[in-house]
Structure 1
Amino acid sequence: MSLAQKIQEAWNKQSNWLVLLRPFAYLYKKAFDYNKQAYLSGRKKVYHAPIPVMVIGNITVGGSGKTPLLIALVKYLQKKNIKVGVISRGYGGNGPFPMLVSPTTSVASVGDEPALIVSLTHVPMSVGANRQKSIELLLENHPNLDFIISDDGLQHWALGRDLEWIVVDYKRGLGNEKLLPEGFLREPKERLQKSTVIEHFSTEMPDKTLSMYLQIGKPYCLNETKTIFHHEQRFHAVVGIGYPERFYQSLNQIGVKDIQKHAFEDHYEYTLSDLIFDDNHPIITTEKDAVKIKAILQNDCTSKVNREVWVLPVEAILSDSCYLLLQQQLHKFNIQI
């Protein structure tokens, strides 16, 4: 287990020894506040796009469900004939940046989340650490866009934004409510008072709240033509996301009880050896991991991964209140839904 995974585990357990990291949390806050104030005061330039920009992010380290939320919003806007585009940092990709993303773009170039987003929505998208250049490239190639959604970038103060939606995992909460690295907060909890907060529930949620949950889809096999999924067999649960526990909970919900856990760091770059085990039990993974694993399987000319690789898809289901609020917010920018 890496140091990052050990700290992640300590955050989840709210271990007492994390108090030893408080001096580093103090330094983190000082640096964070200084950087933020530099943009707010005008000492550093903030870029404002010519069309409205919405940032979907979180104030915590680890998965909160922002990417499934973004995908759900993109599909909704597309159905309403709103010309929406997406930008992302492209974490884990090797560029060159900024870069447009298409369904045929390699995951190695743009990262796992952009590859997944475009594969499921075919939305116009560009990636790169410089959000301004990403937006300019996107608009250069898609000049008729009405609206842009930024996948993460909540703490990227150089990017001006018109709307902010912050996803908070209801069950995980804010942990010990401490900043990095003593806790898993990127920003103080007071930040939630200044943005739209979407609560991510484990199962169906009260419809009157701004909330969402992940609906589990039918598992599909990535490297075989098999369509029958046997939940009672033993699986190797291979996962490289910010909060692996949610994946294990999803497996439990569909009756998969017997798993051997193989948790890797978020955005982990898989190799062939990560998929080879001393037995014939199948692998089950997330869609985010599957975009990278699929590339490995396609390059496995010797068929060393001689087992089924199953993918568990999920879809964000939003409360009606979320869509009603989105309509009201976009109406202010003359975007009619």
Structure 2
Amino acid sequence: MSIAQIIQDAWNRQAKWLIVLRPLSWLYRLGFVLNRQLYLSGLKQRYHAPVPVMIIGNITVGGSGKTPLLIHLVKYLQGNGVRVGVISRGYGGSGPFPAQVTLDAVPETVGDEPCLIVQSTDVPMVVGSNRKASIELLLQQHDLDLIISDDGLQHWALERQIEWIVLDNNRGLGNEKLLPEGYLREPIARLNQSTVIEHAYQPKSALSMHLQVAEPYLLNPSYDQAEIFDTSLDYYAVVGIGFPQRFYNTLESMGVYQFQCHEFPDHYDYEIQDLQFEDTNPIITTEKDAVKLLPLLKQHPDFQREIWVVPVEAVLSSECYQVLNQQLAELGITLSQG
């Protein structure tokens, strides 16, 4: 197990030994606050895009559900006549950056989440660590009304007009400590400065979302398979996401209780050996992992084991749409049907 995985596990368990990392958290806070103030004071230059920018991010390390939320918002905006584009860091991709993400793009080049976003929405998208360069390339190719930044909440070099922070109540804020003692990227007070979307099945806030499971599908179907999902089988749950427990909870909500957990780091680059087990039991995984697994299966056409994919869709409260429409209206963006 890598050091990153050990610390991730300690965060999830809120292990007491994390206190030894507190001096590093103090240094992190000092560097974070200093960097933010340099941008906010104007001593470091911020980029103001020619079209409004909306950031969807979180203040925690690991998964919060923001990618399904982003996909849902893109579809909602597209359906209401808003010309929207997306930028992202492209984490896990090798570049060169900035890079346009097309339907034919591969995770090795642009990252797994960008591939999933474009395959789900066909939205114009560019990835790269330089957000200014990404936006400029995006606007060279498309006339847009709004740009959504996938993550980038802590990227102070980019001006933004709307900020949505996804707060996953299932995971919470852990020990409420900053990195690396805890998994907070920013102090909790940051939640008071943006629109917070509570990710929970029983939310306390009017602004909330939850993930709804769609029908599982086979990633590698063949003519001799019935392609009927059976909840009574034993599965290998293969996941490389920020918070695997959410996926396990999803499986149990579907009636799948017999599965062996095989966890890998977030954005993991799979090898065919990772999918080999002693028996013939099927694999079950997430759509994000499926983006990485599909090219691997094409490289190994003789692979026989069934791989089932569990798609999820974000379901938003009505208040979320009301707030979004109001925020867009203040920017001069009118929805055709909203």
Range into which the TM-score falls when normalised by the shorter chain: over 0.9
Match of 1:327 in 2: 325
Aligned-partner Cα distance in 1 for 2:80–2:183: 37
Which residue of structure 2 lines up, in the alignment, with residue 315 of structure 1?
313
Aligned ranges for residues 100-179 of structure 1 at < 5 Å?
100-142=100-142, 144-179=143-178
Report Cα offsets for 1:24-63 as digits up to 9, x if no partner. Answer: 1011111111211121122211001000000000000110
- 1:190 aligns with 189
Say which is worse superposed, 218-227 or 87-96, in terms of deviation. 218-227
Aligned counterparts of 1:331 and 1:40: Cα–Cα separation in 2: 26
State the 1:4 CA deviation. 1.3
Match of 1:221 among 205, 218, 222: 218
Between 221-230 and 95-104, report the one with greater CA deviation: 221-230
In the aligned structure 1, how far is the partner of 2:192 from the partner of 2:122?
Answer: 33
Render the CA deviation track for 1:86-135: whole Å, top value 9, x for unaligned. 00000000111001111111121100000000000000000000000000
Give CA-to-partner distance per residue, 1:229-261, whole Å, 9 cap, x none. 011111110000000000000000111111111
Following superposition of structure 1 onto structure 2, how do residues 179-328 of structure 1 map, counting pairs within 5 Å?
179-201=178-200, 203=201, 205=203, 209-225=206-222, 226-301=226-301, 303=302, 305-328=303-326
Kindly provide the amino acid, as one letter, of the partner of residue 199 in structure 2. Answer: H
Partner residue, 1:23: 23
TM-fit CA distance, 1:67: 0.5
Scaled by the length of structure 2, the TM-score of the pair is 0.96
- Superposition RMSD on alpha carbons, in Å? 1.1
Structure 1 unaligned spans of 5+:
none
What secondary structure, in the 3-state scheme, does the structure 2 residue paired with 1:149 have? Answer: strand
| 2:170 partner amino acid | K
Deviation at 1:80, TM superposition (A): 0.2
The secondary structure found in structure 2 opposite 1:174 is coil
- Structure 2: which amino acid aligns with 1:151? D
State the TM-score, normalized to the length of structure 1.
Answer: 0.97
User: Which amino acid in 2 is paired with 1:174?
Assistant: L
Q: Deviations over 1:256-307 (max 9, x none)?
A: 1111111111111111111111110101100000001001001114x1x320
| Cα distance in 1 between the residues matched to 2:100 and 2:109 | 10
User: What is the CA-CA distance between 1:227 and the residue it aligns to?
Assistant: 2.4
The SS at the match of 2:144 is coil
Amino acid in structure 1 at the alignment position of 2:44: K
- 1:48 match: secondary structure: coil
Which aligned pairs between 1:50-65 and structure 2 lie closer than 5 A?
Answer: 50-65=50-65
Count of aligned pairs between the two proteins: 332
Cα distance in 1 for residues equivalent to 2:65 and 2:49: 26
Residue identity (%): 60
Q: CA offsets, 1:159-190, max 9 Å, x none?
A: 11001000001122111110001111000000
- AA in 2 matched with 1:309: I
Unaligned runs of 5+ in 2: none
Supply the AA of the counterpart residue of 1:318.
L
Residues in 1 aligned to 2:312 and 2:174: alpha-carbon distance in whole angstroms: 25
Separation of aligned partners in 1, 2:15 and 2:106: 40
